[in-house]
Structure 1
Amino acid sequence: MMREQGLIEPDRARRKAAQRLGIDNKRCWPDNAEIQEALESEYRLFEPEAQQHVTTRLREQALAAMKTFADFDPRLVGQSLSGTASLEQGVRVHLFADDPREIVFRLIDKGIPWQEGDAQQRYADGTRQAHPSFAFMAGEVPIELVVLPARDRQNPPLGAISERPERGLNTRAVEQLLADEGH
């Protein structure tokens, strides 16, 4: 369902699948790691070349965005990093700035039209926080910049799938990832 319907959140896909199959006992539901593993297997088995092309394109756009926002210690996170994102899902990059207006000024300086929003993030201590996010299109790839306070470099939010601190990859690591893929 996540691949075919473009669902991003595993919880939503899990609930929808359980409802469709009539499975009420939550102990029988797969955990996020099992969902991620199944999604990766599905791509490897049924459309490896197409997914690799999409993943490379997303990572290239992510790298361009990361270079534009290099002053904010960008980190590529999410499904474009794991290789399971679609073009429609796009790219998510964490930026670190104590004043989100700095990101707005960079967007204005670069002439990038954006939409502002909030990204809900969960943390290891059980708290949830909303952080400013800025979304824009890079060609036909949606880019979401989530602005985290500088202190979150040491304590990043949890990944939606892994439920572990999502440290992501910095610009140099994304460049190396693309080089290793032959791009």
Structure 2
Amino acid sequence: MRELGLVPCGPRPWRATTIDDEAASAMPGLLACDFTADTPGRKLVSDITTLTPEPGCFLATVIDCHTKAVVGWAMADRMKTSLISNALDMAARNINLAEGYVFYSDRDCHYTSLEFRCQLRSLGIRASVGRTGVCWDNAMAESFFGALKNELAHRTTFPARAHAHRAIVRCIEMFHNRNASTPDSATRLSQKSHAEY
């Protein structure tokens, strides 16, 4: 990097956003930090983060462990269960989900809520959660968010939430998913989904 005159981008200080749900202790940790899959739709990892402090912009993503593509995502100005539900709905539209596939997340109360658990059951999904305060349990999602924040969100001043939404969509769909390990099986984002943002 010195030879090329490049200066690394340092990450901003970490800020906690997870509201731990004590009821999640009964949920299993099926992934065990194994983020590999033989075919698409067998293992999905998900997380939710805040991208910009003002105006508020929260992003929920669903990443397929086989393709490494963000197969589902949703943005909103508030962190709520419907945000991750919308991201999962998009993933279910964009890829063929294998029977009994694993959906992995942290112990955030939105992921362990009754509303979201009912959605998982209706899709035939096995829920899996990581340990409290162990970020590498969900390293794939954390790594994606780290790069997105460090290379885009923290280095850009967005005049309005709509500008942030467009920039994030371009980053996910036009850069990340096109450079995923198997681009042909990456997300097939519908025109309706594009229109929403």
- TM-score, normalised relative to structure 2: 0.25
- TM-score, normalised relative to structure 1: 0.26
Give the structure with the higher percent helix: 1
